Amino acid sequence: MQLSLPISDLVTEPAESKPEWTPVRSDELEALHLRLAKAVGEPIDLVPTNNRSRMLSWEREASGLLRVRLQRLYARADEQTIEAVGRYIRSGDASARRLVRAYAATVGDQLKPMRRSKVGSALGETHDLRAYLDQENQAHFDNQFRGQIGWSRRTKGRRRRTIRLGSWNADRKLIRIHPVLDDPWVPDYVLRFVIFHEMLHAVLGSQERGGRRVFHTKAFREQEQAHPDFNRAEGWIHDHLDALLAY
């Protein structure tokens, strides 16, 4: 069963003023996760969203873990509001719901559509792909990589089961990075590692085995795992896969 709180039900009056919201940083989201878990009284899987139509929803997974989807601007809420969110999730407390509504009223009409990274450009709203590529090129490829890099196109449709965070086009000598990663929530080291992964494809190419082409060869895996950010980048992607798939 899933309970949800639509923004149309939360916002009763527009805010009197319209503050300019800066992007929510990854450390703010990490702090929100800890604060909300404490307020709920149990471990949670927090999925920060940019959703304009549904600010809060939650469901109990088959494993028993509580998954909470919450508009990321709640990272800026005070402790009273976060405690109210926790009480509302736990028991549907009416007074807690009123506090949640009050906070939503202060930010609801300030929510902007998700900003779009320009297709083909390396400079996103949050991350500069060219800067990361240059760092990886110098650190791991002796500045020998000569390809280009840019953000790929956003796609809409049904919830996906897999997501390709990066790709290498040998004919065009072009690395494309999925725009889901152009967000303050995504650490720099994740972008750098994904870019490094695609640069490895460019440098090592593929091998023919049994009539099929193999890209992730033993040599590829060895060099990939030697990257200093391999473990934490892979760990971050694994821990946040559901949020990436829901993009």
Q: Which pLDDT tens digit goes with each residue over 142-200?
A: 999 999 999 998 766 556 678 899 999 999 999 999 998 987 778 889 999 999 999 99
Distance CA 41, CA 38 (A): 5
Confidence check: pLDDT of 22 > 70: no
Q: Which pLDDT tens digit goes with each residue over 197-219?
A: 999 999 998 888 888 888 889 99
If pLDDT is split at 50, 70 and 90, which confidence band does 6 have?
A: very low
Asked if 183 and 151 count as a contact pair (C-beta separation under 8 A), the reply is: no
If pLDDT is split at 50, 70 and 90, which confidence band does 5 have?
A: very low
| Domain ranges for the chain | 2-110, 129-245
Q: Which pLDDT tens digit goes with each residue over 123-150?
A: 887 788 998 999 999 999 999 999 999 9
What's the residue count for the chain?
247
Q: Which pLDDT tens digit goes with each residue over 99-118?
A: 888 887 776 655 544 444 55
DSSP string, 92-113: --HHHHHHHHHHHHHHGGG--P
**Strand segments (E) across 65-199:** 66-71, 148-151, 166-169, 174-177
Q: Which two tokens stand for residue 147?
A: 């390809």
- The domain over range 129-245 is classified in CATH as 3.30.70.1230: no
